[in-house]
């Protein structure tokens, strides 16, 4: 592969949020370009105006950037092969469609939607192959000035078309089973097929990576390349994702399917990138944690897998934990901040001293976070001045009674009021308490933990008390004492 020439493109249609399957395609496109010192293009295929979803254009770009997949040419950055929005290239498609008309390789079709509908119905009833009956292929007798028309491709009626796919080898298609596809629609917009071929050629795309659902369209694309006398790019049709149980195609019913949803659930882009990278590609050894930089070095198309792969959410969660644990406290705090702001636990913008406090909390919770959203439950009682008084039953250790719990809390109050609130100071102060009360360590710590946090699971005791500070600890123990005394 000559390095300088590699040009890949990700060509989404703005019909929804960036899908995780699309994100994997973009990752492979990006890696292939980076590995060979080539260029990665983003082209927006916005020719189907009926399917346009507001907000999707912004989401696709934002999600790609979030994953770290910056494009070398495309929206916002421009480039020599632009414009990169197909809706801005209509004149180009018309020119090329005209060329095919002039050469007798395409034709005007005046068939009305009603006629097409009738043809289809008749075909269905006769149990024939459904498709356009090529009524206008050799001239349209009913054609009149001003009538709506489309331009259709004159697909060869005989012979075979070979699609060379880098993963799947040579695939043969019978031309007589292919339709005379529409190239230009009656609204003047091109179809996906036509715009895609023209643009991949004009943008000098060398490798077309896309989902295998596009494979049935590829023979027509190849025929279009042939009609123009153009060299087709290398095709790579990537496998589908299977559901986590491996029983069928991944769909919305199995959970989140867009990059945005994963982001909002609290996944790190590094984790999603690494996970998607290995969903259909393998490094040839058992390395699982692969950074972007390593992936650029290691990536090659011959290790891409053609068979469907299971979308194992537990594996993605595992990656998320790995990457969360690898972050510096400040970095982790920055990533947690939006979730805490959304939960109303920190203001937006966050004042510097409150952010510094959050950074201090990170080592206490880092090991425990599976998702960034978990940070809310692990840190809320640190970030709140007051917490709701805990329920009485929570304060009483198993097999003990309210009286004992009260005795414990009173002793702790006296001890902690005089303690030095550092990890070492707290350890020294609390160490003798269980023996003094004739209780086990757990029976002392449990009411204390619940009193200061309202929870039964918290970060380590000494670090937690230190981070809360004497004032809040004392005040919360007092509140817990009143709960026990009030019954």
Residue 13 C-beta: closest distance to ligand GLU, Å: 4
C-beta of 44 vs 106, nearer to ligand GLU: 44
Which of the residues are catalytic?
Answer: 252
* Nearest approach, Cβ of residue 177 and ligand GLU (Å): 21
SS3 content of the chain, % helix, strand, coil (to 5): 50, 10, 40
Instruction: Please say which residue, 25 or 404, places its beta carbon nearer to ligand GLU.
Output: 25
Which residues, 6 or more positions from 422, have their beta carbon under 8 angstroms from its beta carbon? 466
180 within 8 A of 220, measured Cβ to Cβ: no
Rg (C-alpha) for the chain, rounded Å, is 32
SS (H, E, C) 364-425: HHHHHCCCHHHHHHHHHHHHCCCCCCCCHHHHCCCCCCHHHHHHHHHHHHHHHHCCCCCHHH
Which residues contact ligand GLU (rule: CB under 6 A)? 11-13, 45, 192, 196, 208, 210, 214
Residue 195: C-alpha distances to residues 9, 152, 205, 326, 341 (Å): 14, 13, 13, 44, 44
Maximum Cα–Cα distance for the chain, whole Å? 105
Rounded to the nearest 5 degrees, what angle is found at the Cα of 23, between the Cα atoms of 313 and 310? 35
CB of 197 to ligand GLU, least distance (A): 9
Shortest Cβ 276–ligand GLU spacing (Å): 16
Q: How far is the CB of 21 from ligand GLU (least distance, A)?
A: 9
Q: In this structure, are residues 129 and 123 in contact, taking their beta carbons and an 8 Å threshold?
A: yes
- Closest to ligand GLU by CB, 35 vs 210, is 210
CB nearer to ligand GLU: pick between 86 and 366? 86
Encoding tokens for residue 218? 């590829």
Nearer to ligand GLU, 239 or 453 (CB): 239
């Amino acid at each position: 592969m000559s390095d300088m020439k590699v040009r890949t493109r990700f060509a989404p249609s703005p019909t929804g949020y960036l899908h995780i399957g699309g994100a994997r395609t973009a990752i492979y496109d990006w890696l292939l370009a980076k590995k060979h010192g080539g260029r990665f293009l983003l082209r927006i295929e916005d020719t189907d105006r009926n399917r346009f979803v507001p907000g999707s254009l912004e989401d696709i770009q934002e999600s790609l950037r979030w994953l770290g997949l910056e494009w070398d040419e495309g929206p916002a950055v421009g480039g020599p092969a632009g414009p990169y929005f197909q809706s801005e290239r209509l004149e180009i498609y018309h020119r090329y469609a005209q060329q095919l008309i002039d050469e007798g390789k395409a034709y005007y079709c005046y068939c009305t939607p009603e006629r097409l509908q009738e043809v289809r119905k008749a075909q269905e009833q006769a149990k024939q192959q459904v498709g356009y009956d090529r009524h206008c292929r050799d001239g349209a007798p009913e054609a009149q000035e001003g009538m709506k028309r489309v331009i259709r491709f004159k697909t060869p009626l005989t012979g075979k078309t070979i699609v060379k796919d880098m993963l799947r080898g040579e695939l043969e298609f019978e031309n007589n089973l292919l339709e005379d596809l529409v190239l230009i629609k009656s609204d003047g917009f091109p179809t996906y097929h036509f715009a895609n071929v023209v643009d991949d050629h004009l943008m000098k795309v060398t490798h077309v990576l896309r989902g295998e659902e596009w494979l049935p369209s590829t023979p027509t694309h190849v025929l279009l390349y042939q009609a123009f006398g153009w060299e087709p790019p290398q095709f790579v049709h990537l496998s589908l994702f299977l559901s986590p149980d491996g029983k069928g195609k991944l769909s919305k019913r199995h959970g989140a399917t867009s990059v945005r949803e994963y982001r909002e659930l609290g996944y790190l882009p590094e984790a999603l990138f690494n996970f998607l990278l290995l969903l259909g590609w393998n490094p040839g050894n058992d390395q699982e944690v692969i950074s972007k930089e390593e992936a650029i070095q290691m990536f090659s198309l011959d290790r891409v897998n053609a068979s469907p792969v299971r979308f194992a959410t537990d594996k993605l969660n595992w990656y998320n934990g790995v990457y969360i644990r690898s972050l510096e406290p400040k970095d982790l705090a920055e990533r947690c901040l939006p979730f805490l702001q959304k939960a109303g636990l920190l203001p937006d913008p966050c004042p510097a001293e409150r952010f510094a406090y959050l950074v201090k909390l990170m080592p206490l919770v880092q090991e425990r976070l599976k998702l960034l959203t978990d940070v809310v439950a692990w840190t809320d009682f640190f970030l709140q001045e007051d917490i709701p008084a805990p329920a009485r039953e929570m304060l009483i250790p198993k097999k003990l009674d309210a009286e004992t719990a009260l005795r414990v809390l009173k002793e702790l109050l006296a001890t902690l009021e005089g303690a030095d609130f550092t990890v070492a100071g707290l350890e020294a102060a609390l160490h003798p308490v269980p023996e003094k009360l004739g209780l086990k360590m757990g029976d002392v710590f449990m009411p204390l933990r619940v009193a200061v946090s309202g929870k039964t699971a918290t970060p380590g005791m000494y670090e937690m008390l230190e981070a809360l500070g004497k004032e809040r600890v004392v005040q919360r123990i007092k509140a817990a004492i009143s709960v026990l005394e009030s019954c």
